[in-house]
């Protein structure tokens, strides 16, 4: 199991590095034609709706992963949890810490597997049209190469947010609520964020 996870991690890292190199070469030859991406004058109601839909999709993906991605070490994890509860009253600190470490390692491996599969599911969802950045652009991107790269980055960002789970989206909602309650927006309901220049 560990060798498979290492293979997936190494393969994933290799693909990321290759994409960055290829993107760098293409961008170096075409970046002077790219327009400035304008994210100014965010409509807060639109952002809240987008984050709400993202939260809902993340919940659906989490339930999907819980049902269809089986945990091969589920029985071992349950047994270790029982051992932890049994060792706690006995005062065997060394054995307790060792058992807790084994349990945490199994949980960590499970989280990594879920993130990888969740990212793959998020990419598929983004390919079908559910994306984050595209809904926030003020003006359409004219240059086809820039538009293609923005779409790719949009899919990766959306997949990353979805694979992070609903907990991460909920934290984002809390940040937005604190921003709004702190008076970060103007009276028109817009968030004045300067455009990102190239």
C-beta of residue 49 within 8 angstroms of C-beta of residue 173: no
Q: Nearest Cα to 130, choosing from 172, 161, 173?
A: 161
Across the range 117-140, mean pLDDT stands at: 85
pTM beyond cutoff 0.75:
no
Q: Nearest Cα to 43, choosing from 132, 135, 144?
A: 135
Q: Which residues contact 48 (CB under 8 A, 6 or more apart)?
A: 176
**pLDDT given at position 185:** 46
Rounded to the nearest 10 degrees, what angle do helices 93-127 and 74-87 cross at?
Answer: 150
**pLDDT given at position 4:** 54
Q: Nearest Cα to 72, choosing from 5, 137, 156, 167?
A: 5
pLDDT digits (tens, 9 = 90+) for 74-126: 788 888 888 878 777 776 678 778 888 888 888 888 888 888 888 899 999 99
């Amino acid at each position: 199991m560990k060798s498979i996870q290492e293979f997936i991690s190494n393969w994933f890292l290799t693909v990321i590095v290759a994409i960055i190199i290829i993107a760098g070469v293409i961008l170096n030859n075409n970046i002077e034609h790219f327009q400035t991406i304008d994210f100014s004058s965010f409509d807060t109601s639109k952002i809240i709706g987008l984050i709400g839909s993202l939260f809902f999709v993340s919940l659906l993906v989490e339930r999907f992963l819980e049902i269809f991605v089986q945990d091969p070490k589920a029985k071992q994890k349950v047994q270790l949890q029982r051992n932890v509860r049994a060792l706690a009253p006995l005062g065997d600190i060394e054995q307790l810490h060792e058992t807790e470490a084994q349990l945490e390692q199994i949980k960590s491996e499970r989280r990594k597997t879920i993130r990888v599969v969740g990212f793959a599911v998020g990419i598929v969802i983004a390919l079908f049209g559910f994306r984050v950045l595209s809904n926030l652009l003020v003006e359409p991107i004219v240059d086809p190469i820039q538009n293609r790269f923005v779409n790719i980055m949009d899919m990766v960002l959306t997949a990353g947010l979805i694979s992070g789970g609903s907990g991460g989206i909920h934290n984002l909602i809390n940040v937005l609520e604190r921003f709004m309650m702190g008076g970060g927006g103007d009276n028109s309901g817009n968030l004045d964020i300067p455009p990102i220049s190239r």
